[in-house]
Amino acid sequence: MSQVYDRVALIGLGLIASSMFWAIKRAGLAGEVTGFARSAETRETAREIGLCDRVCDSAAEAVEGADLVVLCVPVGAMGAVAAEIAPVLKPGATVSDVGSVKKDVIDAVAPHLPDGVHFVPAHPLAGTEHSGPRSGFAELFENRFTLIVPVEGTDREAVERLEQFWQGMGAKTEEMDAEHHDLVLAVTSHAPHLIAYTMVGVADDLRRVTDSEVIRYSAAGFRDFTRIAASDPTMWRDVFLHNKEATLEILGRFTEELFALQRAIRTGDGDHLFDYFTRTRAIRRGIIEAGQDTDAPDFGRVKRG
């Protein structure tokens, strides 16, 4: 893979940015990668582990001369960062982001950007339960989708270059409009996360079942919830506050259906339950066929290190 940008600046150095750095280096996608994080401790760690070719002490310094600037900060911080870097952006540069919400991010970032700078929002659908500069690894985006959400009138060349860049990191890219993105993500990610957080919270509150019992017996289904309920709290707070409408809509439908199933349990309507469970099974099969998971009999988990 050859170089796609001369200089790339990563603003925010958490799981996504650190994985991007290692993936960029592996594929030789950029001449130089600069980085900035608000926290001095994170910058210190980044220097220590060789994360970024150059770690800068201000966002402006990192951004200077960059052909691509990627905002990798929590969704709620995007607007302020955009305002800060706007005056030093190189004419013709592309600004992108990796936020899990698109409509609000576009509204917050776009107004700050000067003419002649291309804004191409993006969202890599990849993550782990870990966060921070040490959590990244080059393979994070492999065989995962990165959704590209161009705003109206964006330069096609800038869009395609960014797609090429993500493909170089191993991702499959798809274009989607912001509103649809936010609804799709409310279904596939935001509502499931809130639900998982809630179930884990209920288990913790229940006085008659100890935390230690919940933990010991978690393999019975609960484990899959704790996995997604361990993600970064700041990131998720911002996601819910900034994709409020779509998330609340999906949660409304969810509680409606959950009440119907609870009623079926209460009244002993076994047919309703059976039919429902049979229908949901098919979706799982589709996910395996689409290559987004494995059907290995131990759920694909093996012990490591």
**Of residues 234-273, which lie at the interface with a copy of itself (CB under 8 A)?**
234, 236-238, 240-241, 244, 247-248, 250-251, 253-255, 257-259, 261-262, 265-266, 268, 270, 273
122 SS3 class: strand
Q: How far is the CB of 272 from a copy of itself (least distance, A)?
A: 9
- In Å, the largest CA–CA distance within the chain is 67
Q: How far is the CB of 230 from a copy of itself (least distance, A)?
A: 4
Size of the site for a copy of itself (CB under 8 A): 114
40 or 283, CB closer to a copy of itself? Answer: 283
Q: How far is CA 184 from CA 7, 91, 180, 216, in A?
A: 32, 34, 6, 34
43 or 181, CB closer to a copy of itself? Answer: 181
Q: Which of residues 116-175 bind a copy of itself (CB under 8 A)?
A: 125-130, 135, 137, 139-140, 144-145, 147, 174
Residue 206 found at the interface with a copy of itself (CB under 8 A) = yes
166 or 197, CB closer to a copy of itself? Answer: 197
228 SS3 class: helix
Residue type, 173: T
Site string for a copy of itself, 57-96 (x = CB under 8 A): -------------------x--------------------
Q: How far is the CB of 98 from a copy of itself (least distance, A)?
A: 13
Contact predicate 16/98, CB 8 Å = yes
Q: Which of residues 13-42 bind a copy of itself (CB under 8 A)?
A: none
**Residue closest to 113 by CA, chosen among 132, 91, 130:** 91
For 230, counting Cβ atoms within 10 Å of its Cβ (0-12 exposed, 13-18 middle, 19+ buried), the class is: middle
| 121 C-beta neighbours (distance < 10 Å), count | 27
Contact predicate 77/92, CB 8 Å = no
**Residue closest to 52 by CA, chosen among 14, 22, 81, 82:** 22
Give the interface segment with a copy of itself, choosing from 27-35, 49-57, 151-159, 200-208 (CB under 8 A).
Answer: 200-208
57 or 129, CB closer to a copy of itself? Answer: 129
Contact predicate 118/94, CB 8 Å = yes
Residue 301 found at the interface with a copy of itself (CB under 8 A) = yes
47 or 244, CB closer to a copy of itself? Answer: 244
Q: How far is the CB of 89 from a copy of itself (least distance, A)?
A: 29
**Encoding tokens for residue 5?**
């940008």
**Could you say which of 58, 116, 157, 202 contacts a copy of itself (CB under 8 A)?**
202
Residue 228 found at the interface with a copy of itself (CB under 8 A) = yes
Q: How far is the CB of 295 from a copy of itself (least distance, A)?
A: 7
Query: What is the distance between the alpha carbons of residues 191 and 142, in angstroms, rounded to a whole number?
Result: 24
Q: Backbone phi, then psi, for 253, in 5-degree steps?
A: -65, -40
Residue 297 found at the interface with a copy of itself (CB under 8 A) = yes
Residue 49 found at the interface with a copy of itself (CB under 8 A) = no
Residue type, 158: A
Q: What sign does the dihedral 281-283-284-286 (CA atoms) show?
A: positive
